[in-house]
Structure 1
């Protein structure tokens, strides 16, 4: 991707190197049902036990239950520490992320303007190891995620090393796809998709919620493709960039991740979409360049 020398977004908070405490009562929202009220100690213990058995980060589940778009990939188990040798590379990567965010601002700003609306730009938070958000606390293992509570995208740049090594998805446009996907969740939030999903899931079974979550994630992939369409029109894509994004979408499909981590797949547990689905919807957005082509909720089999 031809990104050097282009505008960097000013909507970036650099919290790298800052320590973040545990879950704060002010920022944490637990699933307590429609009646509201404070969660009981028993509920906390039950939730904690279930999450532990599932091997999933509590912050990730909490974020999803409160209506978040979640991370671009399911919970990862490893957490990498930044070494002094990686500092320079991280600074360059931070500049790259700022440029990509700026490009999403330009594209979505234009799309919203054409629809007679103003695009409320999201903030992006760079963090290391741990971070606090309006959706609760998260660690690097959560992966990049979007929090609808504060309308911010959160990224630990160490994830990009995992994307290259662990997920076998190298390339700067694979990294750009990650940012564009999370911004896609922001689009869903401000257009009402995420709030509606959060409301509907309260009466859904786990299987139904997973199936609806897949549609949410695939739409974010399609929105990333729409952004890539207009980025390509600007002449910013280089040979191999599209393949990098498609490979990333393939490598982080639910089936690919489950095969890699446990050797078999459990389709009923999918909540992001298969490799084929994620490639298909990114490609659909890329080829059409139309937001209207990304309605994953109106097709029988997304």
Structure 2
């Protein structure tokens, strides 16, 4: 894919300090030092303090990878502006925060091991760009459009949040068993895949965006590579459907492709679909 215009201004760069979480800030450091002086382990007190983090700055275009991320995010803003306008609503832009190693969000602390994620509490997408190395080397899903698919999927969760789906999921979490909630989680993730495909469908019509030959295949390869069944098989040698939270490889490919083929948001109701 190629992006020819100005990227989004909604990308924050939290990588300057290594993205480290400083528990309790300066107070936490003082507690640890006092513990060392008196020969006592006081780190338990530190863990009870609120986590703070170095302030993020506006991301610069000097880094080609950051420039790419800003371009993808801008294209999602343009597509979802149009989609929400057709629904008679106004789209609220999410922020995308870059981090390294670990990060603190309104949803709690997280490390890069969890992969990219969206936090409904602060309307932010979080990405450690090293994930793209994993996507290529560990999952065999190389290419810039595979990377764009990841961002579009997380933005899809933001769309769900704005449409009230995330709130409904939180209510369901309180009353359902883990197995039943996992089934809902699969539908949530597959809908985000559909929204990623819908983005790709409409992004083709943007004046600053162009799909290259093989781009769609890159996204489908990425969707196929991160299905629950494939990941479970690789990690533990067996597949446990009751533990699925994102959907099988075939399901993820199907719903992304459906979004791409139809471009119709009404076709993405995974929660009431007879077959996933």
Q: TM-score, normalised by structure 2?
A: 0.83
For 2:204, what is the secondary structure of its paired residue? helix
Name the counterpart of 2:39: none
Distance 1:152 1:176 in 2: 16
Pairs within 5 Å for 1:36-51: none
Distance 1:213 1:93 in 2: 31
Distance 2:23 2:202 in 1: 39
* CA-CA distance at 1:294 after TM superposition: 0.4
Q: Can you list the C-alpha shifts for 1:266-290, whole angstroms capped at 9, x where unaligned?
A: 1111100000000000011000001
Name the counterpart of 1:136: 108
1:101 and 2:73 correspond: yes
Distance 1:241 1:232 in 2: 11
From 165, 183, 208, the counterpart of 2:155: 183
Distance 1:215 1:162 in 2: 25
Distance 1:2 1:176 in 2: 11
For these two proteins, the number of residue pairs brought into alignment is 239
For 2:127, what is the secondary structure of its paired residue? strand
Distance 2:116 2:225 in 1: 15
For 1:224, what is the secondary structure of its paired residue? helix
1:293 and 2:267 correspond: yes
* CA-CA distance at 1:22 after TM superposition: 5.7
* CA-CA distance at 1:195 after TM superposition: 0.5
For 1:202, what is the secondary structure of its paired residue? helix
1:255 and 2:229 correspond: yes
* CA-CA distance at 1:116 after TM superposition: 2.1
The answer as to whether partners of 1:8 and 1:102 remain within 8 angstroms in 2 is: yes
Name the counterpart of 1:152: 124
Distance 1:116 1:169 in 2: 37
Name the counterpart of 2:20: 20
* CA-CA distance at 1:13 after TM superposition: 0.7
Distance 2:269 2:214 in 1: 27
Q: Can you list the C-alpha shifts for 1:164-192, whole angstroms capped at 9, x where unaligned?
A: 00011000000000000000000000100
Name the counterpart of 1:162: 134
Distance 1:209 1:222 in 2: 20
Distance 2:153 2:162 in 1: 15
Distance 1:122 1:23 in 2: 26
From 200, 203, 210, the counterpart of 2:172: 200
Unaligned 5+ segments in structure 1 are 25-89
* CA-CA distance at 1:23 after TM superposition: 6.4
From 90, 95, 119, the counterpart of 2:91: 119
Name the counterpart of 1:276: 250
Across the aligned residues of Structure 1 and Structure 2, the Cα RMSD in angstroms comes to 1.9
For 2:2, what is the secondary structure of its paired residue? coil
Unaligned 5+ segments in structure 2 are 25-61
* CA-CA distance at 1:301 after TM superposition: 2.6
Displacement over 3 Å in runs of 4+: none
